[in-house]
């Protein structure tokens, strides 16, 4: 549940985040991305800024930011470097599942620790054989006394190596039809108090083309015991709906990351176009470049408006799967578009690792894939269109 924030509060928060991004995030992006090095100092700063509790309700120690302010924070971070946003985005999707679907005891026990960043993590839904079709997962949890025993493999799990908790989607009934009624979601602490991975869990970092520096891993559960107290909501059978219920906010987040990438690529391009000369004038005076900049700028603004529309509906607790889907689809494609156009504007230098534009290009495509691919988004939009306009 979000708190009420005045316009002055919003401006103060965005000013604080803006200074942090300009002074701390932007200057290290290139080095950490290229070395694929985890930005531990940024995590410490994120804790101080309250980012790990950004959308967690004040009752549970968070800031309770509305999605509309939160999205602007995400855009600002991604306009400098998309990857660190994943450290608190995926974490907050996990927190949102617990806040929306957990029992009161679970919320009191888990959320304050997540809000401070003592517990940090993400969501473990995807498996080697199941991404878009999440109901096809094979990981199981079998009841054994007061515990459940988890077996199975998750893949592409962000924050799993440097974090210490996950919301894990499993099958508690492999025969159940419809399939989603056989799923459950568990809150799992993956490490002991000294930071060692618990027995029964194996975490292996994956190599990626972009979204570097942030850990995305395979997570294997081998007879891992989790207390039945950590079955989110306390009842089996709702895991799939609990997981996808948080995706509206997740999609607004990804849209914001796409818009941030687009904004960052545009900013770099506007600058470079004025610095670079060809045929006796700066390339910004060539109409072919102006057409690119004009198109990029219009798409960035359209992305912001779609995000704002989805976020406002989300904050008003109205159904917004269509709006969040449109924002996610359009803003992430705009991220790819602007990064590609930026590459063209930078010409051969776009291929040099000395310039930041190549990072935006490598990072952009992920936004079209995560939180439901853009193919799935258009299907969701179309289904909603038909449902809302039945003849």
Ligand X SMILES: Cc1cc2nc3c(=O)[nH]c(=O)nc-3n(C[C@H](O)[C@H](O)[C@H](O)COP(=O)(O)OP(=O)(O)OC[C@H]3O[C@@H](n4cnc5c(N)ncnc54)[C@H](O)[C@@H]3O)c2cc1C
| Binding interface with ligand X (CB under 6 A) | 90, 122-126, 131-132, 156-158, 208, 211, 216, 366, 369-370, 373, 375-376, 379
The 3-class SS string of 296-315 reads: HHHHHHHHHHHHHHHHHHHH
Q: Which residue, 90 or 238, is less far from ligand X as judged by CB? A: 90
CB of 317 to ligand X, least distance (A): 26
Give the three-state DSSP class for 175.
coil
Residue 107 to residue 101: CA distance in whole angstroms? 9
Q: Which residue, 157 or 345, is less far from ligand X as judged by CB? A: 157
Residue 154 to residue 124: CA distance in whole angstroms? 6
CB of 29 to ligand X, least distance (A): 17
Q: Which residue, 54 or 368, is less far from ligand X as judged by CB? A: 368
Kindly give the pairing relationship between strand 183-189 and strand 201-205.
unpaired
Residue 87 to residue 52: CA distance in whole angstroms? 9
CB of 282 to ligand X, least distance (A): 37
Tell me if residue 371 is catalytic: yes
Side-chain-side CA neighbours of residue 96 (13 Å): 28
Residue whose C-alpha is closest to residue 84's, from 27, 132, 137, 123 = 27
CB of 129 to ligand X, least distance (A): 8
CB of 370 to ligand X, least distance (A): 5
Q: Which residue, 43 or 345, is less far from ligand X as judged by CB? A: 43
Residue whose C-alpha is closest to residue 117's, from 40, 12, 24 = 40
Q: Which residue, 179 or 286, is less far from ligand X as judged by CB? A: 179
* CA-to-CA separations, 374 to 251, 327, 330, 354, 369, in angstroms, rounded: 11, 11, 9, 31, 6
Residue pair 55/67 in contact by the 8 Å Cβ criterion: yes
Instruction: Name the residue whose CB lies closest to ligand X.
Output: 131
Residue whose C-alpha is closest to residue 130's, from 152, 115, 102 = 152
Q: Which residue, 115 or 125, is less far from ligand X as judged by CB? A: 125
Helix axis angle for 247-275 and 287-315, nearest 10°, is: 160
Residue pair 181/237 in contact by the 8 Å Cβ criterion: yes
* CA-to-CA separations, 335 to 126, 251, 327, 328, 360, in angstroms, rounded: 24, 14, 12, 10, 8
State the catalytic residue, choosing from 24, 202, 371, 375: 371
CB of 105 to ligand X, least distance (A): 26
Q: Which residues are known to be catalytic?
A: 371
């Amino acid at each position: 549940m979000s708190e009420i924030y005045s316009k002055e509060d919003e401006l103060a928060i965005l000013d604080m985040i803006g200074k942090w991004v300009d002074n701390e995030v932007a200057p290290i992006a290139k080095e950490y991305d290229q070395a694929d090095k985890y930005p531990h100092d940024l995590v410490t700063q994120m804790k101080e800024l309250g980012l790990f509790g950004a959308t967690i309700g004040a009752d549970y120690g968070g800031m309770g930011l509305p999605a509309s302010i939160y999205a602007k924070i995400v855009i600002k971070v991604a306009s400098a470097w998309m990857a660190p946003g994943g450290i608190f985005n995926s974490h907050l999707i996990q927190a949102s599942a617990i806040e929306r679907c957990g029992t009161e005891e679970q919320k009191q026990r888990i959320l304050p620790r997540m809000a401070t960043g003592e517990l940090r993590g993400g969501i473990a839904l995807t498996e080697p054989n199941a991404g878009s079709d999440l109901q096809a997962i094979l990981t199981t949890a079998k009841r054994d006394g007061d515990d459940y025993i988890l077996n199975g493999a998750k893949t592409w799990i962000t924050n799993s190596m440097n974090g210490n908790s996950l919301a894990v989607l499993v099958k508690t009934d492999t025969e159940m039809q419809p399939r989603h009624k056989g799923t459950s979601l568990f809150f799992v602490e993956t490490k002991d108090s000294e930071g060692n991975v618990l027995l029964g869990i194996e975490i292996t970092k994956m190599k990626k083309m972009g979204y570097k520096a942030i850990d995305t891993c395979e997570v294997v559960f081998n007879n891992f015991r989790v207390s039945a107290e950590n079955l989110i909501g306390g009842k089996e059978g709702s895991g799939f709906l609990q997981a996808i219920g948080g995706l509206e906010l997740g999609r607004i987040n990804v849209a914001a990351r796409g818009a941030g990438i687009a904004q960052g690529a545009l900013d770099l391009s506007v600058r470079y176009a004025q610095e670079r000369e060809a045929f006796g004038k700066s390339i910004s005076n060539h109409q072919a470049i102006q057409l690119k900049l004009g198109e990029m700028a219009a798409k960035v603004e359209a992305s912001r408006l779609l995000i704002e529309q989805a976020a406002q509906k989300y904050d008003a607790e109205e159904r917004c799967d269509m709006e969040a889907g449109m924002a996610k689809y359009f803003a992430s494609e705009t991220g790819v578009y602007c990064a590609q156009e930026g590459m063209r504007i930078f010409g051969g230098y776009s291929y040099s690792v000395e310039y930041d534009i190549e990072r935006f290009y490598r990072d952009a495509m992920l936004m079209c894939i995560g939180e439901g691919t853009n193919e799935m988004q258009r299907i969701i939009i179309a289904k909603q269109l038909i449902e809302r306009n039945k003849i």
